[in-house]
């Protein structure tokens, strides 16, 4: 028998309509970096959520240090020295870093000798020490809302260390980071391994696994496909196994063929609801047949640019012109009719109505006009036939076809539905914001193909992405945004990903 | 085994897409009856007798004896007279609810429209019935609609939550109308507002049918028509489609180009119109007078009706009947069984509680089904294992 620190045996977990994990058995050795690779919906996060006590498996058992355990909540997991950094950080924005870290297990003292109170001095001191020991630089007294994403992630890691976690689960930790920050995070993980921690890394980015992991378990549609030694397996093999077929890494991108300006943004300034300028005096043009990508670290004003062009946000000054027509003061619907399609960043919050059927969601751009409705009366025959066409054309998979409630569909298929719905408008301008966020390699490949096809059809594409790889792969022209300003606009062929990365950090002269 | 089968059957019904809205409500009613029975037993009363007397009070079952000139039919028409505003009020709630708004100002909207219709038309003795009755309805629609639109406007323009504004507006309406009634329109004997002219009243009274005294409430016709209209709007029209989108995801509605502000105002106005109709059918139909400074409990009972009807307009017709049986039958039950009639409100409350547990019941049902499927799969696997083993042995031989 090997010395496994964690063993999960024959784990099965069901959710209404799907089997998230089907008889999965894995064993993790003490002190290794163990990667879980799989497409979206393959069951990686579910499996780890069970190890962290957030769900209980329907069947199967979990062993820690060879002893069987049953976790009813994440507190039980914490008691067994298991920690987890979630994809969406679980931090209180208006608390300081130290307060966030000690929250739930605060060091106590007696005020005036009898009133129990939190000993923040001690907490600050301990956290400063911890951060020094592991090279995780943070200032314990900063508020979370004032620090960037990469620091927030460090806070999450410190939270685990503070609770003496030996087994650390990272759920897609690099999704929100710049290339430089990813590099740094991988170093931190390596340091943790050297300090004797066991790391479980959930990801769909194979390069990272190749860089840092010792072994890698591949999940496909809830089943365990294989457990590989990372050193002896090629990236291509891992990708194929993960998607269940051969993957084409480089979509064949034809030479661009520009045909006149479609979108012209002129000295546009946008304020958010707190009257704070989030987009400052931005100007750029997108031509027909061009993919103009805006690269930047999350929260630098890129989504606001998209919202301002589509009408979701008011433009404070400057103009937006579409195909020669000033659309600055048109309503959202008028702009859509004029030829703006929009794949929004927040799929669930904006892109679909979660409890509507697939059929109704596919008709959201059309429902009010002939032949979808006449004199205000909906024509459901048209709804039905239209949704069947789109389901077929865009390969949207769902449990029950048009009448499936979209909430029950996988993220990839929800995104396919949104992209299909928007592309089908045959708009002059299509804005993609984070179009592949949370999607797996197979789905990403398809989305990229669709974006390129639309560009070749002659649409102007505005691509806003936090994934630098995606920007480098697709863009004809790159604009780098920092703090609401476009620092640099240049043809993609003249910039390396390292140049772009530097502009993303606000360095003006590369 | 048999009981397990039965459990599965019930679970299937609760979980089925087609019937769940119906079966969950029926289960809520059954659970309510059981709980109420326990309460009645604790009070030393026979629950069956009590339930029968609720039905007797509403004219569904014959009473032991009737007073002069009245009969089962009089009780039944009384029941319909009360059912009409109840159903309209429930529809008012549903319209707001579908658009994501929690209209608990129905009682206030009812009172305001009833008050305006009473003083403008009800106290005008010269109008013929053919003019007065339609005018009463129009006032109900206009006043209720405006009162509702105000709430929507406050939400859209100043982001005031509708629950807060409706509670406040309820008080304002209640005291304002109370002030005018006490100062100008009060009947010194009853201490309520003076009665309306019969021509304005939406219920015809003292009609002899089959030798008994009956009422003919026009309101019930209006209510059922409105239930069908509301159902149609949400099922088949672009307007209803937009309201539902706004109700479920405001961001997405905005993103597809719906004017969210206009939709909020429109849905509250629509909700107010139905509340206004409920108001005139209540104050110029069921009663013929207004008690000053008093909001009717129906404004809140209607929420129970809407939830029990699973927010379906047509479904709430049946839900309204159930709730009204308890409310309207309480008087007779009280005198026949000797339990305070307030138990009707208690039962409505229990009903509301169970109805709002609908999602939980569905979840339970799903769990039962899943466990059953698991067990079957296990059995199958075990069986196939045995077969394999058996075949293996045969092979050895």
Q: What are A474-500's pLDDT values in tens digits?
A: 999 999 998 899 999 999 999 988 888
Provide the pairing of β-strand A340-343 with A429-433: parallel
Distance CA B288, CA B300 (A): 21
Residues contacting residue A104 through CB under 8 Å, at least 6 positions apart:
none
Q: Do B252 and A332 touch (CB under 8 A)?
A: no
Report the pLDDT averaged over residues A433-454: 85
From A330-334, A437-441, B35-39, the region with the lowest mean pLDDT: A437-441
Decide if B238 touches A, using CB distance below 8 A. Answer: yes
CB B368 within 8 A of CB B7: yes
From A65-69, B5-9, B30-34, B278-282, the region with the lowest mean pLDDT: B5-9
Residue A506 pLDDT class (50, 70, 90 cuts): confident
Is 0.80 surpassed by the pTM of this model?
no
What domains can you pick out in chain A, each with its CATH number? 6-243 (3.40.50.300), 261-353+415-504 (3.40.50.300), 356-404 (no CATH)
State the complex-level ipTM: 0.82
From A178-187, B105-114, B246-255, B299-308, the region with the lowest mean pLDDT: A178-187
CB A481 within 8 A of CB A294: yes
Backbone angles phi, psi at A180, to 5 degrees: -65, -40
| pLDDT at position B160 over 50 | yes
Q: How far is C-alpha A19 from the chain's CA centre?
A: 23
Q: How far is C-alpha A224 from the chain's CA centre?
A: 24
Decide if A15 touches B, using CB distance below 8 A. Answer: no
Among B178, B174, B175, smallest CA distance to B186 is for B178
CB atoms closer than 10 angstroms to residue B377? 10
| pLDDT at position B271 over 50 | yes
Decide if B241 touches A, using CB distance below 8 A. Answer: yes
Per the listing, tokens 């058992």 go with A61
Both tokens of B292, joined, read 């000053």
Angle between helices B219-236 and B72-98 (to 10 degrees): 30
Q: What is the pLDDT of residue B397?
A: 38
Q: Is B44 helix (H, G, I), strand (E, B) or coil?
A: coil
The number of residues in chain B equals 397
Mean pLDDT score of chain A: 89
Residues of A numbered 364-383 whose beta carbons fall under 8 angstroms of chain B's beta carbons: which are they? Answer: 364-365, 367-368, 373, 376-378
Tell me which residue in A14, A312, A377 faces B255 most closely, judged by beta carbons. Answer: A312
Contacts of A334 in chain B (CB under 8 A): 257
- The predicted-structure confidence for A141-177, as pLDDT tens digits, reads as follows 999 988 888 889 999 999 999 998 999 999 888 877 7
Both tokens of B192, joined, read 């309520």
Q: Which burial class, exposed, middle or buried, applies to B45 when counting CB atoms under 10 A from its CB (0-12, 13-18, 19+)?
A: middle
Tell me which residue in A350, A355, A365 faces B251 most closely, judged by beta carbons. Answer: A350
**B242, β-bridge pairs:** none
Contacts of B236 in chain A (CB under 8 A): 377-378
Decide if A111 touches B, using CB distance below 8 A. Answer: no
Residue B394 pLDDT class (50, 70, 90 cuts): very low
Q: Order the strands of the A223-229 sheet from edge to edge.
A: A82-85, A167-171, A198-203, A33-38, A215-220, A223-229
Both tokens of A76, joined, read 């039980």
Distance CA A250, CA A241 (A): 18
| pLDDT at position A362 over 80 | yes
Both tokens of A243, joined, read 């998607």
Q: Which burial class, exposed, middle or buried, applies to A473 when counting CB atoms under 10 A from its CB (0-12, 13-18, 19+)?
A: buried
Per the listing, tokens 């020490």 go with A129
Both tokens of A416, joined, read 């396919």
Distance CA A322, CA A340 (A): 9
Contacts of A333 in chain B (CB under 8 A): 256-258
**A67, β-bridge pairs:** A64
Domain B69-328 has what CATH class? mainly alpha
CB A217 within 8 A of CB A34: yes
Distance CA A399, CA A16 (A): 11
Per the listing, tokens 């992209």 go with A419
Residues contacting residue B86 through CB under 8 Å, at least 6 positions apart:
B278, B298, B301, B302, B305, B320, B323, B324, B327
Distance CA B298, CA B327 (A): 9
Decide if A187 touches B, using CB distance below 8 A. Answer: no
CB A135 within 8 A of CB A191: yes
Distance CA B208, CA A296 (A): 82
- The predicted-structure confidence for B206-221, as pLDDT tens digits, reads as follows 889 888 899 999 999 9
**B105, β-bridge pairs:** none
Both tokens of B27, joined, read 């289960």
CB A21 within 8 A of CB A11: yes
Provide the pairing of β-strand A429-433 with A317-322: unpaired
Question: Which bin fits A392, alpha (ψ -120 to 50), beta or left (φ > 0)?
Answer: alpha
Q: Is A487 helix (H, G, I), strand (E, B) or coil?
A: strand
Residue of B17, B247, B256 to mutate for A, most A C-beta atoms under 10 A: B256
Distance CA B276, CA B117 (A): 10
Angle between helices B315-337 and B219-236 (to 10 degrees): 140
Range B272-309 burial, b when 16+ CB lie within 10 A, else e? bbbbbbbbbbbbbbbbbbbbbeebbebbbbbbbbbbbb
Both tokens of A11, joined, read 């784990």
HSE-CB for A450 with a 13 A CA cutoff: 27
Q: What is the pLDDT of residue B374?
A: 72
Write the DSSP symbol of residue A351: I
Q: What is the pLDDT of residue B396?
A: 40
DSSP annotation string for A22-87: EEEEEEEETT-EEEEEE-TTSSHHHHHHHHTTSS--SEEEEEETTEEE--SSHHHHHHTTEEEE-S
Q: What is the pLDDT of residue A509?
A: 59
- For chain B, the domains span 1-58+332-377, 69-328
**A110, β-bridge pairs:** A116
Both tokens of A291, joined, read 């993919």
Q: Does the bond joining A286 to the residue before it have cis omega, within 30 degrees of 0?
A: no
């Amino acid at each position: 028998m090997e010395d496994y620190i964690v063993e999960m045996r024959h784990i099965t977990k069901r959710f209404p309509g799907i089997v998230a994990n089907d008889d999965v058995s894995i064993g993790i050795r003490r002190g290794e970096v163990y990667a879980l690779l799989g497409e979206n919906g393959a069951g990686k996060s579910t499996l780890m959520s069970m190890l962290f006590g957030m769900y209980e498996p329907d069947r199967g058992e979990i062993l820690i240090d060879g002893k069987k355990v049953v976790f009813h909540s994440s507190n039980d997991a914490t008691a067994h020295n298991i920690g987890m950094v979630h994809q969406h950080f679980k931090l209180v924005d208006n608390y300081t870093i130290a307060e966030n870290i000690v929250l739930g297990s605060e060091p106590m003292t007696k005020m005036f000798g009898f009133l129990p109170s939190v000993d923040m001095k001690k907490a600050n001191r301990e956290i400063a020490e911890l951060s020094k020991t592991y090279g995780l630089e943070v200032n314990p007294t900063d508020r979370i809302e004032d620090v960037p994403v990469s620091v927030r992630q460090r806070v999450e890691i410190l939270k685990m260390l503070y609770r003496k976690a030996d087994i650390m689960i990272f759920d897609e930790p690099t999704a929100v980071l710049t290339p430089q920050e990813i590099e740094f995070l991988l170093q931190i993980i390596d340091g943790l391994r050297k300090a004797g921690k066991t790391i479980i890394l959930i990801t769909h980015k194979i390069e990272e696994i190749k860089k840092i992991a010792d072994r890698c378990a591949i999940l496909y549609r809830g089943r365990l496909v294989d457990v590989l030694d990372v050193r002896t397996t090629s990236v291509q093999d891992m990708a194929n196994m993960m998607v269940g077929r051969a993957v084409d890494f480089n979509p064949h991108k034809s030479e661009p063929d520009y045909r006149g300006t479609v979108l012209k943004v002129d000295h546009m300034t946008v304020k958010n609801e707190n009257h704070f300028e989030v987009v400052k005096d931005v100007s750029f043009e997108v031509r027909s047949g061009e993919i103009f990508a805006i690269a930047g670290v999350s929260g630098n004003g890129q989504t606001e640019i998209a919202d301002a062009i589509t009408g979701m946000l008011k433009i404070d000054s400057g103009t937006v012109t579409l195909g020669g027509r000033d659309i600055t003061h048109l309503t959202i619907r008028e702009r859509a009719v004029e030829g703006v399609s929009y794949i929004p960043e927040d799929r669930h919050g904006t892109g679909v109505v979660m409890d509507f059927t697939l059929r109704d969601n596919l008709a959201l751009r059309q429902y009010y006009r002939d032949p979808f409705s006449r004199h205000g009366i909906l024509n459901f025959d048209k709804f039905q036939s239209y949704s069947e066409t789109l389901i077929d054309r865009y390969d949207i998979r769902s449990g029950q076809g048009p009448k499936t409630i979209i909430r029950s569909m996988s993220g990839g298929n929800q995104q396919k539905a949104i992209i299909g719905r928007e592309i089908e408008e045959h708009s002059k301008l299509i804005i993609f914001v984070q179009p592949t966020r949370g999607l797996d390699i197979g789905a990403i490949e398809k989305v990229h193909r669709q974006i390129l096809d639309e560009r070749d059809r002659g649409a102007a594409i505005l691509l806003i992405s936090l994934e630098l790889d995606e920007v480098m792969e697709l863009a004809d022209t790159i604009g780098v945004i920092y703090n609401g300003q476009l620092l640099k606009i240049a043809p993609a062929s003249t910039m390396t990903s390292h140049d772009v990365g530097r502009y993303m950090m606000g360095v003006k002269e590369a | 085994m048999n009981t397990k089968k039965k459990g599965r059957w019930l679970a299937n019904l609760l979980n089925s897409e087609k019937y769940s809205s119906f079966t969950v409500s029926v289960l809520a009613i059954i659970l309510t009856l059981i709980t109420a029975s326990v309460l009645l037993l604790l009070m030393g009363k026979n629950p069956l007798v009590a339930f029968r007397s609720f039905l007797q009070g509403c004219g569904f079952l014959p009473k032991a004896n009737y007073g002069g000139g009245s009969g089962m039919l009089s009780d039944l028409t009384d029941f319909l007279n009360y059912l009409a505003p109840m159903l309209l009020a429930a529809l008012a709630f549903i319209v707001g609810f579908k658009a994501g708004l929690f209209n608990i100002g129905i009682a206030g909207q009812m009172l305001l429209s009833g008050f305006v219709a009473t003083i403008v038309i009800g106290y005008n003795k010269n109008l013929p019935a053919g003019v007065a009755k339609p005018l009463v309805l129009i006032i109900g629609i206009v006043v209720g609609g405006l009162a509702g639109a105000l709430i929507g406007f406050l939400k859209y323009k100043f982001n005031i939550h509708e629950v807060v504004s409706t509670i406040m507006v309820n008080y304002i309406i209640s005291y304002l109308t109370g002030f005018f009634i006490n100062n100008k329109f009060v009947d010194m004997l009853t201490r309520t507002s003076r009665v309306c002219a019969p021509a304005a009243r939406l219920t015809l009274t003292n009609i002899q049918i089959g030798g008994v005294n009956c009422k003919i409430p026009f309101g019930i016709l209006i209510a059922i028509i409105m239930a069908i209209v509301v159902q149609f709007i949400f099922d088949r029209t672009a307007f209803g489609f937009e309201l539902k989108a706004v109700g479920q995801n405001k961001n997405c509605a905005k993103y597809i180009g719906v004017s969210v502000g206009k939709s909020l105002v429109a849905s509250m106005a629509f909700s107010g119109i139905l509340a206004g109709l409920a108001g005139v059918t209540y104050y110029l139909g069921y009663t013929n007078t207004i008690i000053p400074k008093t909001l009717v409990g129906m404004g809140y009972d209607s929420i129970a009706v809407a939830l029990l009807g699973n927010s379906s307009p047509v479904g709430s017709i049946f839900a309204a009947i159930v709730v009204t049986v308890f409310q309207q039958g309480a008087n007779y039950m009280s005198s026949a069984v000797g339990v305070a009639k307030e138990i009707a409100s208690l039962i409505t409350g229990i009903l509301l509680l169970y109805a709002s547990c609908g999602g939980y019941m569905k979840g339970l049902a799903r769990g039962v089904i899943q466990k059953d499927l698991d067990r079957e799969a296990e059995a199958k696997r075990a069986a196939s294992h045995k077969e394999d083993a058996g075949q293996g042995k045969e092979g050895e031989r």
